[in-house]
Amino acid sequence: VRRKLEHNHHNGWIEINRFDYSIFFAIATSDETVSPDIRLEKIRQSGAHICHRLNQHRIAEATIVGFDHKEEELIALAEGIVLANYQFLNHFSAPEKKKNSLETLSFASNLVTGAALKKLEVITQAVCWARHLVNEPFNALNAETLAQRFSDALQPCGVMVEVMHKNRIEALKMGGLLAVNRGSVDPPTFTVMEWKPEDALNEKPIILVGKGVVYDTGGMSLKPSNAMETMKCDMAGSAAVAAAMQVAALLNLKLHLIALAPATDNRVNGNAYVPGDVITMFDGTTVEVLNTDAEGRLILADALSYAKKYDPMLVINIATLTGSASRAIGTHGIAAMQVKAQSDFEALKVSGNKVCERLVEFPMWDEYREMLKSNIADLKNIGGPEAGMITAAKFLEHFTDYPFIHLDIAGPAFLDKTDSYRGKGGTGICVRLLGDFLVKMASVQHQN
């Protein structure tokens, strides 16, 4: 028993079984060399351990009792428990047999304010919704279904949702989105989500753009079969931006926000676009396609060009874009780049550290643009085997003229094994990041 207590203490928690109930002590590190952000993350991880034990004991209700801890530490513990309790059971024949026992988590502490509790509830709910979308298999979630899910969830919150279907996309001449869709039997969609309270504090909107490739075979540049197994997650960027809109609406943030989600699958048939094709994008740029598996940047380029019509104060792009990002930093961070957005990028980085969805900044030097020059068109869609996450971002930069932040979430968007409260499968990456960032942005705008 003593060894077990010592082991669990080392992992940040202690359990005392009182037969008819259990008491768990989450122990925040006293190491003064540990940053406040890492301290919060360790508390979340303790929450995940406790959640596992609660479900092992088939406990349905748990109460967090605060002692001398700060509010943010109690919230972090609850966050770890709630997110670790997430399950995706949609396709089991008997889901009730697999359902976790934990149903209710409450606080018995006057240290936690109603505002903090509301923020916790809204953001964790949005993370779980994003995870659900990412975890859905392609045969249950094509581009049209994804757009419908966005509309069904967001319109009741007060978010205006417009879904553009293929005929409208063709009329707009979104050549990137249409090219990627050519190999599919399902039509593409382009969803515009707008949250604009009457008392919005920002004159120009903040725009969130999310990649919505609902399944990616690689097209004619076909992926190996073992690289396709998780490609239902290639729409994780669109799920993140839609969930962020839900957060903004439910928290009634006084910000004008717009989210754009181009969506299609990337499949192979007789009409599929092929390496060597030249396509014309929404803004008139011609692109030589050298790899049809570099499809995400093509649909995002149309969305980024479309964003210009709003004269935005900032655009944040989120995408499972490159294997290079995953190979560079694995699952523990987000490959991030910015153009003309240094101050907002620094604020986003602070939020990333706080919620442990950390940004690793890569350069956007002009030399990388040289790698995208084509002999027969304005651009080519890949830059070669080196610095792939950067050349992809430089390709996207071509279609912008505003402050721009690009987040490549290819590593952390989908996990093949459980990682604490992030679980297995879709992680909902960037929802907590954007939630914290937008809450702070609304506060800063109010102060100004």
Catalytic residue list: 223, 297
User: Cβ atoms within 10 A of the Cβ of 279, count?
Assistant: 19
Q: Write down the residue that tokens 């040289």 correspond to.
A: 370
As a whole number of angstroms, the distance between CA 403 and CA 37 comes to: 27
CA atoms within 13 A on the CB side of 87: 17
**Encoded tokens for 60:** 């349905």
CA atoms within 13 A on the CB side of 236: 29
170-to-154, 263, 378, 440, 445 alpha-carbon distances in Å: 26, 14, 21, 39, 38
Alpha helices per DSSP H over 16-113 = 36-56, 71-84
353-to-46, 334, 409, 430 alpha-carbon distances in Å: 18, 11, 15, 12
The answer to whether the beta carbons of residues 86 and 131 sit under 8 Å apart is: yes
Angle between helix axes 431-447 and 236-250 (nearest 10 degrees) is 40
Which of 323, 334, 318, 338 lies closest to 389, judged by CA?
Answer: 323
Amino acid of residue 118 = K
Which residues contact residue 125 at a Cβ distance below 8 angstroms, ignoring those fewer than 6 apart? Answer: 246, 250
